[in-house]
């Protein structure tokens, strides 16, 4: 046996990097496999990704939205893997001359995996320790083994056949990487599968006790290309910090109502859906939505009135804030008046457009508060409603620089024609949606170039909590034109013209498009 201390300096940087890559990959792959095989064991890749999201600098929610909000978090997973592998290669190179670097580096990464795993609310602490320990040991032994294999070919007497020795080392490293990738993919597949199955079949949801009347006649305008009045579940935007969609098991899931209340209580899923269920259309929107963006949707939500749950618990008069907590630790917070006010029907939703909540949208239960941006109100995978004070607690996005209070701003969007479209001369439908939940929309106007603002036709609103469609028949004349839209809410406030970026409290400004008429 050649002691690592004397053999490893002979390894080339390139071979050491390959050994580090293979050893690091094997550690990640096996950790993923353990996470897939043992329910409650955290995946270090996901746990570290969650940590990255949690540690974003203020205002960086845009980053999450741009990078991972819609791309199913694939990119963050890949970045975490790439950084880990690059570090493993670096550690292996450095360990050629200073073997202690391997032990130190692996310990640091093991502790990182441990720390990240321990703060994953979905993971068992003991299994977080097991995963970190297994991954560290695998990394350490695999690295030592591969470096020795690489060194052996350089060491007399094998030095006479370097080609053979090198082929063997490279072949082994590639085999290890293949095994790591296979184990990793298998583990992640098992992990994702383990979280399915809890979702009941569509239709299993009890019928609502108070059904929403169907949308009134004239609620939808007949315009090709306009956003549909009700957003189908599979087309509804998705924004959250979850790298892996939480799928709570119904047997153990509870909704807890606690904090500054007379009598805290908890409900099972069956108990929750056995309560009187209402149905209402509510348009929800993301604070990160850009002017003209599509992080907004309108659905028929079915669920229990939040008021009902709060009355049962008996809210202390000085409890000024409602905090919604998700099974994955995400939190929202909003003033208690939003749930108690007569005109609002904040709810714990269990159904979306006639089906149980899809996993992506918060199964088994989520909050829906008409009029508030999602980040302060719409907790998905809800498990706790806590009554507290506004001073006592800042929810997830507030320390990251987003506004404590998040009323949805009045906005309007042009859906047709598309910006950049070429149109024929003559009558053209300019149409889209406008929303100001829960103040309602009283007017939408369109401006062509720098001309006068002209009233658009509005669809018959479902309620003040939903968007409306609008249509303006434009007599298009030849040339290049700019079209703008603005809405007025139900209280007579005109949408703000001055542009602001989404942070800290939502984007302002008028949506504008350019078209060419010929
Ligand atoms: N558990 C959890 N709930 C969450 C979030 C989250 O990150 N985690 N994001 C919120 C934000 S910012 C928005 S805009 C809405 C989006 O709901 P949707 O994905 O169903 O459209 O969910 C809210 N609820
Ligand atoms: Mo959001």
Identify the CATH number of the domain in which residue 370 sits.
Answer: 3.90.420.10
Residue 8 falls inside a structural domain = no
Same domain, 144 and 101: yes
Q: Is 236 in the pocket of ligand 1 (CB under 6 A)?
A: yes
- Nearest-ligand number for the alpha carbon of 379: 1
CA distance 129 to 30: 14
| Residue 373 CA, ligand 2 centroid: distance in Å | 7
CA distance 22 to 402: 41
Residue 210 falls inside a structural domain = no
Q: Model-level pTM?
A: 0.85
Beta sheet of 422-423, edge-to-edge order: 422-423, 511-517, 479-489, 441-448, 453-455
| Residue 408 CA, ligand 1 centroid: distance in Å | 14
| Residue 378 CA, ligand 1 centroid: distance in Å | 6
Nearest to 377 by CA among 248, 273, 259, 239: 239
Among 367, 400, 433, residue at a domain's last position:
400
Q: What is the number of domains present in the chain? A: 3
Q: Is 379 in the pocket of ligand 1 (CB under 6 A)?
A: yes
Among 181, 199, 217, residue at a domain's last position:
199
Same domain, 374 and 512: no
- 138-155 b/e (C-beta count within 10 Å ≥ 16 → b): bbbebbbbbbbbbbbbbe
Q: Is 253 in the pocket of ligand 1 (CB under 6 A)?
A: no
User: Is residue 101 within 8 Å of 91, Cβ to Cβ?
Assistant: yes
Residue 156: count of CB within 10 angstroms of its CB: 6
CA distance 511 to 497: 9
Among 345, 378, 400, residue at a domain's last position:
400
Residue 186 falls inside a structural domain = yes
Q: Report the pLDDT value the prediction gives residue 249, as an integer from 0 to 100.
A: 84
Same domain, 58 and 136: yes
Q: Report the pLDDT value the prediction gives residue 121, as an integer from 0 to 100.
A: 78
Residue 211 falls inside a structural domain = no
Q: Which residues of the chain have pLDDT under 50?
A: 1-8, 67-68, 70, 157-159, 202
Same domain, 24 and 171: yes
- Nearest-ligand number for the alpha carbon of 241: 1
Indicate the helix (H) or strand (E) that contains 57.
Answer: none
Same domain, 249 and 287: yes
Pocket test for ligand 1, best of 378, 398, 400, 505 (most atoms within 8 A of CB): 378
Same domain, 370 and 426: no
User: Is residue 143 within 8 Å of 19, Cβ to Cβ?
Assistant: yes
| Residue 43 CA, ligand 1 centroid: distance in Å | 22
Residue 219 falls inside a structural domain = no
Q: Report the pLDDT value the prediction gives residue 120, as an integer from 0 to 100.
A: 82
Nearest atom of ligand 1 to the alpha carbon of 238: 19
- Nearest-ligand number for the alpha carbon of 285: 1
| Residue 374 CA, ligand 2 centroid: distance in Å | 5
Same domain, 188 and 152: yes
Q: Is 324 in the pocket of ligand 1 (CB under 6 A)?
A: no
Q: Is 288 in the pocket of ligand 1 (CB under 6 A)?
A: no
| Residue 394 CA, ligand 1 centroid: distance in Å | 16
Nearest atom of ligand 1 to the alpha carbon of 297: 21
Residue pLDDT, tens place only, 213-260? 899 999 999 999 999 999 999 999 998 888 778 888 888 899 999 999
Same domain, 356 and 438: no
Q: Report the pLDDT value the prediction gives residue 126, as an integer from 0 to 100.
A: 94
| Residue 138 CA, ligand 1 centroid: distance in Å | 37
| Residue 361 CA, ligand 1 centroid: distance in Å | 8
> Hey, whose CA ends up nearest to atom 8 of ligand 1?
240
Residue pLDDT, tens place only, 320-376? 999 999 998 899 999 999 998 777 799 999 999 999 999 999 999 999 999 999 999
Q: Is 469 in the pocket of ligand 1 (CB under 6 A)?
A: no
Two structure tokens written together for 442: 């009283």
Residue 66 falls inside a structural domain = yes
User: Is residue 382 within 8 Å of 325, Cβ to Cβ?
Assistant: yes
> Hey, whose CA ends up nearest to atom 16 of ligand 1?
239
Same domain, 151 and 184: yes
Residue 5 falls inside a structural domain = no
Q: Range of 143's domain?
A: 13-199
Same domain, 185 and 80: yes
- Nearest-ligand number for the alpha carbon of 368: 1
> Hey, whose CA ends up nearest to atom 6 of ligand 1?
240
Residue 319 falls inside a structural domain = yes
Indicate the helix (H) or strand (E) that contains 5.
Answer: helix 4-7
The CATH number assigned to the domain holding 504 equals 2.60.40.650
CA distance 488 to 297: 19
| Helix/strand/coil percent split, the chain, to 5 | 35, 25, 40
Residue pLDDT, tens place only, 15-64? 999 999 999 999 999 999 999 999 889 999 999 988 887 777 655 655 55
Same domain, 25 and 132: yes
Q: Is 375 in the pocket of ligand 1 (CB under 6 A)?
A: yes
Same domain, 160 and 195: yes
Q: What are the Cα distances from residue 331, in Å, to 297, 316, 385, 386, 499? A: 21, 21, 10, 10, 29
């Amino acid at each position: 046996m050649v002691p690592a201390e004397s053999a490893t300096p002979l390894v080339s940087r390139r071979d050491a990097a390959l050994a580090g890559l293979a050893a690091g990959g094997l550690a990640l792959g096996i950790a993923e496999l353990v996470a897939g095989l043992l329910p409650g064991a955290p995946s270090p890749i996901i746990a570290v990704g969650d940590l990255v999201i949690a540690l974003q600098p203020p205002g960086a929610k845009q980053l999450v939205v741009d990078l991972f909000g819609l791309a199913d978090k694939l990119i963050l997973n890949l970045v975490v893997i790439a950084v880990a592998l690059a570090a493993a290669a670096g550690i292996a190179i450095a360990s050629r001359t200073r073997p202690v670097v391997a032990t130190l580096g692996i310990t640091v990464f093991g502790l990182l995996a441990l720390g990240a795993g321990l703060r994953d609310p979905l993971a068992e602490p003991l299994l977080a320790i097991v995963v970190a320990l297994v991954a560290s040991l695998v990394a350490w032994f695999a690295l030592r083994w591969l470096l020795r294999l690489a060194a052996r070919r350089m060491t007399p007497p094998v030095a006479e056949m370097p080609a053979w020795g090198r082929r063997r080392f490279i072949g082994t490293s590639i085999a290890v990487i293949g095994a790591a990738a296979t184990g990793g993919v298998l583990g992640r597949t098992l992990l994702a599968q383990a979280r399915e199955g809890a979702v009941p079949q569509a239709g299993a949801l009890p019928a609502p006790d108070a059904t929403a009347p169907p949308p009134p006649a004239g609620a939808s305008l007949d315009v090709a290309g306009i956003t549909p009045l009700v957003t189908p579940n599979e087309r509804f935007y998705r924004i959250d910090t979850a790298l892996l969609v939480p799928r709570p098991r119904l047997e153990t899931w509870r909704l807890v109502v606690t904090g500054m209340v007379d009598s805290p209580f908890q409900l099972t899923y069956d108990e929750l859906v056995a309560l009187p269920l209402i149905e209402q259309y509510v348009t929800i929107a993301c604070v990160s939505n850009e002017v003209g963006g599509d992080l907004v949707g309108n659905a028929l939500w079915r669920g229990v009135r939040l008021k009902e749950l709060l009355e049962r618990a008996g809210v202390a008069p000085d409890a000024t804030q409602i905090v919604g907590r998700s099974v994955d630790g995400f939190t929202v917070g909003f003033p208690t008046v939003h749930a108690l006010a007569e005109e609002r029907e904040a709810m714990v939703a269990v159904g979306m457009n006639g089906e149980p909540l899809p996993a992506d949208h918060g199964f088994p239960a989520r909050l829906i508060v008409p009029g508030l941006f999602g980040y302060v109100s719409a907790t998905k995978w809800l498990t706790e409603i806590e009554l507290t004070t506004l001073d006592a607690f800042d929810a997830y996005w507030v320390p990251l620089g987003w506004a404590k209070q998040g009323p949805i701003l009045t906005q309007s969007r042009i859906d047709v024609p598309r910006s950049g479209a070429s149109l024929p001369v003559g009558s053209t439908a300019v149409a889209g949606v406008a929303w100001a939940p829960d103040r309602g929309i009283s007017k939408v106007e369109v401006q062509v170039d720098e001309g006068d603002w002209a009233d658009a036709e509005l669809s018959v609103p479902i309620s003040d909590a939903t968007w409306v469609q609008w249509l303006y028949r434009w007599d298009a004349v030849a040339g290049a034109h700019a079209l703008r839209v603005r809405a007025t809410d139900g209280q007579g406030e005109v949408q703000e013209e001055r542009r602001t970026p989404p942070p800290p409290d939502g984007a302002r400004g008028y949506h504008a498009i350019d078209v060419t008429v010929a």
